[in-house]
Amino acid sequence: MERTNESSPTGFILLGFSDQLQLEMVLLFIISVFYILTLVGNTTIILVSYLDSKLHTPMYFFLSNLSFLDLCFTTSIIPQMLWNFAGPDKSITYTGCVIQLFISLGLGSTECVLLTVMAYDRYLAICRPLHYAIIMHPRLLKQLAAMIWVSGFIESLVQSILIFQLPLCSHHRVDDFMCEEPALIKIAAVDTTFLETELCIASILYVMMPLGFILVSYGCIARTTMRIKSTGGRRKIWGTCASHLLVVTLFFGAVIIVYIQPKNKYTQNQSKFLTLFYTVVTPTFNPIIYTLRNKDVKGGVRRLLFQNQSP
């Protein structure tokens, strides 16, 4: 494999689906629509949660953080992706690649931690309702939010430094549509066993352990729910948890397949579509899931839309 003597290459070529131009045109249209829906849906949830005093609760505080995170996550990836799909230029500058990897990886790691804290919030609300207001006080919410965001970007900083210290192949052709860690590891001109091991450890810390905590939280919620004799009471509890469970399933399912899948289990194109799912589709579905399945959010949207209308 040919090596490069440049410590900082001028840029990278994001191959994407460049060998399937018709597919790129279709994806250009579909992803543009999804991006607009993501912007509108997540902005709506942030505004409703902020403007409606009835939604000034820990649950909607964390939901607003999730919506803001999804806005930033998609914006760090999709504009560059659409530019590459729209024309023959598939390049991204070296600095642009570094920034994209750092931000997208940081936001992805942050979402793993955030979804875990949201599960803990549901656990406290359902399993320890008498202590909920005391435990989830405003100061703790701010501390948890700071911990969530800082922990995600610390992990991203470590990963980004390790990736871009590698000597890379001189062609700088990344077989993906974004600067993503697995794709960048593949163009390293040296043995990457250490980095792959480190990535595996990071995946355990930021994907498998959070998912484990989420499952434990919902196990406790399920046990508490079974003790409730009222069918309506059980239905109400799972109604408040269903949206979060569905978001967790979509996000963690795609991330596990992309980052923790056995090598060669999927073709490269299949992996690209899976990456598209959690970078484009999931952030669009999140506000839809929370809006359709949540009476409080729907009520907040109605109040926001019609508050200035005369009775």
Contacts of 96 (CB under 8 A, 6+ apart): 11, 80, 179
Residues 119/218, Cβ–Cβ less than 8 Å: yes
Gyration radius of the chain over CA positions: 21
Here the tokens at position 6 are 């440049």
Residues of the chain with pLDDT under 50: 1-7, 310-311
**What count of residues does the chain have?**
311
Q: What's the pLDDT at 35?
A: 95
- DSSP collapsed to 3 states, 52-117: CHHHCCHHHHHHHHHHHHHHHHHHCCHHHHHHHHHCCCCEEEHHHHHHHHHHHHHHHHHHHHHHHH
- Residue 189 is predicted with a pLDDT of 83
Position 212 scores a pLDDT of 94
Give the pLDDT confidence score for residue 170 in this predicted structure.
75
Residues 176, 102: contact at Cβ < 8 Å?
Answer: no
Tokens encoding 108 = 């992805």
**CA gap 179, 199 in Å, rounded:** 15
CA distance 14 to 57: 43
pLDDT of residue 106: 94
| Cβ atoms of 149 and 110 closer than 8 Å | yes
For the residues of 123-148, what is the DSSP string, one character each?
A: HHHHH-HHHHHHHS-HHHHHHHHHHH
Residue position matching structure tokens 């860690």 = 181
Give per-residue pLDDT as tens, 13-51.
888 877 788 888 899 999 999 999 999 989 988 988 888
Three-class secondary structure of residue 14 per DSSP: strand
Sorted by where each begins, the domain ranges of the chain are 11-302
Q: Which class is 11-302 in CATH?
A: mainly alpha
